Amino acid sequence: MSRVSAPGRTGWGRRAGNAVRAVGGALGRLPVPRTLRARLTAGLLLLLALACLAVGVITVLALERFLMTRLDHQLAAADGRFAASLEHAERPDESADTRGQAEGTFGARLLFGVATEASLVHGDTHVPVPLSRADRDTLAAVPPDGKGHTVTLSALGAYRVVTEHGEEGDRLITGLPLRRVTDTVHRLEAVETAVFGAAIVVTGVAGAFWVQLSLRPLSRVAATAAEVTRMPLASGEIAMPGPLPDTDTRTEVGRVGAAFNRMLGHVGDALSRRHASEERLRHFAADASHELRTPVATVRAHAELALRHPESVPDDVRHALERIQYESERMSGLVEDLLLLARLDAGRPLARDTVDLTRLALDAMSDARAAAPEHHWLLDLPREPVTVTGDEHRLYQVVANLLGNARTHTPPGTTVTLRITDGEDHAGLTVSDTGPGVPEELQREIFQRFTRADRARSRTTGEGTTGGTGLGLAIVAAVVGAHGGTVDVTSRPGHTVFTVRLPVARTG
């Protein structure tokens, strides 16, 4: 279909607008970079791409305008001689004036708005051009203002034409092909695309390397922070990482490094102070427990001696002596527990023998049945013995404490199950009961010292007193941890499970 466009209006301008919209749509569909390095590199490439696009659009439009202006000057220099020679030609191949006309020059004559003649310069002669109805309408629509207009003819393609008034009231149209202009513009587009594409690729590689080099101090900050997060800050003496070398306060990264070094210093100082305080408390607990053993044993011995006196003792005095004996025994157990925890905290090595967990389970279950016959005790053992490497006495204390915890914190008639399992790399020991359960908020701190579950479970000792020391499960966690194992609890009303995992002893 033929069409005519305004002076200076080109198809490349529309293509440039479409290209800009296409680039914008493509950028909108790209994934958003997450890391700072990727964001900086992507931003650099985006700015470069936009700059290249702007330069390309401006240079192509400027070149096309220049070529179109020069083509208009050529049309003006032709002065319509070829079209005027068609005005009086009886035979176009004889009378038309093709002198000085460029190859492909188009000439046409319009009489009363209708094209009567149309020819094309070919060498030293000219050839007639067939015009369709749409071509005639297109030529008739070109205003006779002496300015260049772009038209598209079905038989010739795009042409730049100028319309002037003839001597006999007709209009004369002279045109030159736009093919050379479009070819030159397309060659420039291809060259700019190749050059700008290569520039973007090279800049992307170099920019990524430069950004990575510039952000290396920040990467050291992140690596040091990650190293700190992997440290067991909650316990023990911690050796903090050394200070970062990037502390130039004239740069943003340097200010971050300096602030991070100050933070590391404060954290290290706080950890050292806490460790020193814990050491003092640990030594105090160990010393106090050790010093209390002798007087407590003395009080207990004197109470037992008084109760064995052959002469009759008043009932109220006997009751007081029995209470003194019971409380001294209870205090003796508390002192032993505190001394054990102090030794474990100090990192004193335990015995490293091969221990049969199934035999420990049998012994502990037998003692539990004797202590609380009103409970239902179940034992689930594998066919083969399950052995671990550790301290037999302390591991028996773990099993006994878990069974004692289930016994003292559940009502009579509760079913308590002790199960031993053998895995590929660890042995499992679980103690479950059907008691009232442990509240969720208490489960997070149940293995801490002096945590008591009296709020959740009924606890009544044989002497009619309520409450416990809160050290039984703390000893379980400390002993299991010293053996390289783990212990955890899951609980809901009617189902509470304590699970212990210990490394198995493998024979090679």
Architecture of the structural domain at 4-185 = 2-Layer Sandwich (3.30)
Q: Name the E strands within 298-452.
A: 353-356, 376-380, 387-390, 415-422, 426-433
Q: Retrieve residue 405's tokens.
A: 């915890």
- What is the Cα–Cα distance from 381 to 363, expressed in whole angstroms? 13
Highest mean pLDDT (candidates 218-222, 273-277, 495-499): 495-499
Chain mean pLDDT for the chain: 79
- Are 447 and 474 spatial neighbours (Cβ–Cβ below 8 Å)? yes
Instruction: Select the more confidently predicted residue: 66 or 80.
Output: 66
Looking up tokens 């499960």 gives 473
Residue 238 CB partners (closer than 8 Å, separation 6+): 231, 232, 268, 271, 275
Indicate yes or no: pTM above 0.75. no
Q: Retrieve residue 359's tokens.
A: 């035999």
96-138 pLDDT, tens digit per residue, is 666 777 888 888 888 877 877 888 888 778 888 888 888 888 8
Q: Retrieve residue 322's tokens.
A: 């029995």
Q: Does domain 350-503 have CATH number 3.30.565.10?
A: yes
- Mean pLDDT check: name the lowest of 161-170, 334-343, 485-494: 334-343
- Are 473 and 405 spatial neighbours (Cβ–Cβ below 8 Å)? yes
DSSP codes joined into one string, 70-98: HHHHHHHHHTTHHHHHTTS-SSHHHH---
Phi and psi of 114, rounded to 5°? -120, 130
What's the DSSP call for residue 484?
Answer: T
- Mean pLDDT check: name the lowest of 203-207, 275-279, 356-360, 400-404: 275-279
Architecture of the structural domain at 229-348 = Orthogonal Bundle (1.10)
pLDDT value of residue 1: 46
For the chain, the straight-line distance linking the first and the last C-alpha, in angstroms and rounded, comes to 91
Q: Retrieve residue 372's tokens.
A: 């609380």
11-52 pLDDT, tens digit per residue, is 545 555 565 565 555 555 556 666 777 888 888 888 989 999
Using the predicted structure, report yes or no on whether residue 89 has a pLDDT greater than 70. no
Residue 358 CB partners (closer than 8 Å, separation 6+): 381, 382, 385, 386, 420
471-483 pLDDT, tens digit per residue, is 788 889 888 988 8
Q: How far lies 1's CA from each of 15, 130, 135, 142, 154, in Å?
A: 19, 15, 8, 16, 7
**Type of residue numbered 166:** G
Percent of the chain whose predicted confidence (pLDDT) is above 90: 17
Q: Retrieve residue 169's tokens.
A: 């009231």
Q: Retrieve residue 319's tokens.
A: 């009751």
Sign of the torsion angle spanned by Cα atoms 99, 102, 105, 109: negative
Phi-psi region of 100 (alpha: psi -120 to 50; beta: other; left: phi over 0): left
Strands across the sheet containing 426-433: 376-380, 415-422, 426-433, 495-503, 486-492
Q: Where are the domains of the chain?
A: 4-185, 229-348, 350-503
DSSP codes joined into one string, 440-483: HHHHTTTTSTT---TTTS----TTS-----S-HHHHHHHHHHHT
* 241-257: average pLDDT: 75
CA 310 to chain centre: 80
- What is the Cα–Cα distance from 148 to 135, expressed in whole angstroms? 17
Using the predicted structure, report yes or no on whether residue 143 has a pLDDT greater than 80. yes
- Are 176 and 75 spatial neighbours (Cβ–Cβ below 8 Å)? yes
